[in-house]
Amino acid sequence: MGTKYSADNMTPEIKAMHEVIYGIDGTRNEAREIQALQDTIYVIGGKWKLPIINSICNGNKRFREIERSIPGITTRMLSRELREMELNKLITRTVSPGPPVLVEYESTSYCKTFGHIIFEMIKWGIDHREKLKKEQ
């Protein structure tokens, strides 16, 4: 807790990111980093949250559409995860009175703030699988 980083060779974007993470003085706060990672994992961690976000962002809005797009997820688990995601402001749930009653889910602008992270995770996963295949 206290590693110092130099901003001498950083682009303005990287420098701004470092100031958010490490503070203006450049001192790294490892406890804060761990807490931030734990908070992130709490909100988007687990087996199903990222696939659900991906499904919704790919245009699946109704419960059954989302369920069908994610192999192996149960109705009960999807329902639970959607409730948690709504509480964490990642998605909105809209009920249109019927008949028939229509329930749709949509990602929030807040959810979209980590879209680039999800993209990088997908890219890393593809690269990782290819690496393992090549090394067999």
Residues 67, 30: one domain?
no
Total number of domains in the chain: 2
Do 93 and 64 reside in the same domain of the chain? yes
Co-location of 56 and 107 in the same domain: yes
71 and 25 fall within a common domain: no
Residue ranges of the chain with per-residue pLDDT less than 70: 1-8, 23-26
pLDDT of residue 93: 97
Same domain, 27 and 40: yes
pLDDT at residue number 116: 87
User: Are residues 90 and 56 in contact, defined by beta-carbon separation less than 8 angstroms?
Assistant: no
The answer as to whether 11 is a domain residue is yes
The answer on 39 and 6 residing in a single domain is: yes
Residue at token pair 């901003």: 7
Residue 91's CATH number? 1.10.10.10
In a domain, 17, yes or no: yes
Q: Is residue 69 part of a domain?
A: yes
The answer as to whether 61 is a domain residue is: yes
Same domain for 88 and 37: no
CB-CB contact of 56 with 66 (8 Å): yes
Q: Is residue 128 part of a domain?
A: no
Tokens 């192999």 sit at which residue?
Answer: 71
Tell me what pLDDT residue 19 has.
73
Domain limits at 16? 1-44
Answer yes or no: is 93 within a domain. yes
With contact defined as beta carbons under 8 Å apart, do 78 and 63 qualify?
yes
Residue 1 is predicted with a pLDDT of: 46
* pTM score of the predicted model: 0.73
Classify the phi-psi angles of 3: left when phi > 0, otherwise alpha if psi is within -120 to 50, otherwise beta. Answer: beta
Whether residues 38 and 78 fall in one domain: no
